[in-house]
Amino acid sequence: MQSCEISSDSTDDPLSSGLRTHRQPRIVVIGAGLAGLAATKILLKNGFTDVTVLEASDHIGGRVQSVQLGKATLELGATWIHGANGNPVYHLAEDNGLLEHTTDGERSEGRISLYTKNGVAHYQTNAGRRIPKDLVEEFSDLYNEVYELTQEFFQNGKPVCAESQNSVGVFTRDVVRKKIMLDPDDPECTKKLKLSMLQQYLKVESCESSSPSMDEVSLSEFGEWTEIPGAHYVIPEGFMKVVELLAQDIPSRTLSLSKPVRCIHWNYSAKHQQAIAQSSHTHQGNNHNEYYHGCQPREDPLIFGHPIYVECQDEEWIPADHVIVTSSLGVLKQNHEAMFSPSLPEEKVLAIEKLGISTTDKIFLEYEEPFWSPECNSIQFVWEDEAQLEQLVYPEELWYKKICSFDVLYPPERYGYMLSGWICGQEALQMERCDDETVAETCTELLRRFTGNPNIPKPWRVLRSSWGSNPFIRGSYSFTRVGSSGEDCERLAMPLPYANSTKAPPLQVLFAGEATHRKYYSTTHGALLSGQREATRLIEMYQELHRAETTKPNNVN
């Protein structure tokens, strides 16, 4: 990518001479998560000076939220850097010394991320019995073998059979169950245990995928998600350090917190302009600068050259040439009808509706002393009465049955004695509605029941996430739901107006965020790369405009 970082008062500045105007293009970035900050950082680096970031919440980071609890830094949101080779988040962390104190145990090599690869997972039944380690390993090998089969449908173009309903969950349950039942060496009690473990594994997989159930995840598309080679890394000082690195060169005047957006008016018409001009009595507080912002655009004739107005909830109207929208898929699902005027094109709305997003929450429990053995790295909940169930649907009062496990945070020198529980789907939303005392009591009863230890104390501190009920997030991260595909990610990412709208100013509304990355959706590196992608799209357009202007033949009189 060429740089166009040139002094704005130079006559060769591509950002001014390319447009034959005396002002730079005005760019508004909606959202100060990884995608928004990455886009802003590249725009500023390449000479764009009129950039404004609007963040609805009172802090930057989006779905990255590191919380200090005593001496420990806990991650309510993004926790792991997934893979190293070519991962921009890994290289950003490594180059800035953020991984210097990451222990060998925190470089997890497994497909499922754990806080430490050391130790052993304890699979406990609701009868308080621990499942023997050799039986767990035997089942794990079988499950992983079938998991590899789920990847082949996309990767090898393998046709999906009708019985699977194109569902990862349905396919996995069917194939694993048949293999278990056909094993001549296992007694019936062992088969039942393995069938129960299958349900628990699918709950863990749902938390990893942030889907309500693996039944909702598309089998034909499951293999398109691409894993970057290398380990999963924990950042001891907190993932927010990556956010701070992205934000460190962004001037404070560029960023506005607690600034939610009500509506993006794009392809702005004369009718809209007239309506705004007539609303001169409207409140003008909290403007970023007197020249471009406010509720009285009629005072500035240049403003009528802007194709976009961003209407904020505090009644400020911000003119722009381009808007980069990094709102989560959950926010777009809930608000897209009110958020865009005119409405989004039908195919983009369909992409938003078809792609999936759910809630994966964490529940941190802190204890004065550990009740678990030193070699235990997690406590996995296996409900024996769920062995034959087809779909795990729980009434609201049984939300806790969706908690799949508690991981032990490691090392204790950093975290103390801390467990991290996982829950997803509607049950996570129900958990969010409970108070801390209820969650603490419920988790204590679960741990007592599954470990068979009635003396486990209540935790002395509880901390949990609430991504589903957060009005500015509405979910954890995206997945390809049955009926959707990677093409929907690309439709979601496609800028507006579409290229065939030749008379309209180009690249008015651009879309970034993890859900817009076809191969790396659901990840922090996918979010970061998507922000860079949209910034690069704008940079290249203005470079092309500049080249076109500078290569025009001089007019001859």
d(CA 114, CA 234): 10
Asked if residue 299 has pLDDT above 80, the reply is no
Q: What average pLDDT does the segment 469-486 reach?
A: 97
At 304-356, the pLDDT tens digits run 579 999 999 999 999 999 999 999 999 999 999 999 999 999 999 999 999 99
- Among residues 439, 434, 481, 209, the alpha carbon closest in space to that of 333 is found at 481
Question: CB-based contacts of 110: which residues, under 8 Å, 6+ apart?
Answer: 117, 232
Asked if residue 283 has pLDDT above 70, the reply is no
Q: What average pLDDT does the segment 154-178 reach?
A: 94
Which whole-number Å values give the CA distances from 541 to 30, 38, 67, 264, in the listed order? 20, 18, 40, 22
d(CA 468, CA 421): 16
The first and second tokens of residue 314, run together, are: 């505090």
Asked if residue 461 has pLDDT above 90, the reply is yes
Name residue 376's beta-bridge partners: 120
Asked if residue 22 has pLDDT above 70, the reply is no
**Local confidence band at 552 (pLDDT 50, 70, 90 cut-offs):** confident
The answer to whether 114 and 108 are in contact (CB under 8 A) is yes
Instruction: Using alpha carbons only, give the angle 361, 367, 368 rounded to the nearest 5 degrees.
Output: 160
The answer to whether 362 and 421 are in contact (CB under 8 A) is yes
Alpha helices in 278-415 (DSSP H): 329-339, 346-354, 412-415
Q: Is the dihedral of CA 493, 496, 500, 506 positive or negative?
A: negative
pLDDT for 293 = 46
pLDDT for 272 = 54
Which one has a higher pLDDT value, 359 or 275?
A: 359
pLDDT for 392 = 83
Which one has a higher pLDDT value, 489 or 555?
A: 489
- Among residues 17, 166, 115, the alpha carbon closest in space to that of 421 is found at 115
d(CA 37, CA 250): 8
pLDDT for 501 = 62
At 124-156, the pLDDT tens digits run 999 999 999 999 999 999 999 999 999 999 988
- Among residues 296, 242, 292, the alpha carbon closest in space to that of 52 is found at 292
- Looking at every residue in the chain, the average pLDDT score rounds to 89
pLDDT for 305 = 74
**Local confidence band at 10 (pLDDT 50, 70, 90 cut-offs):** very low
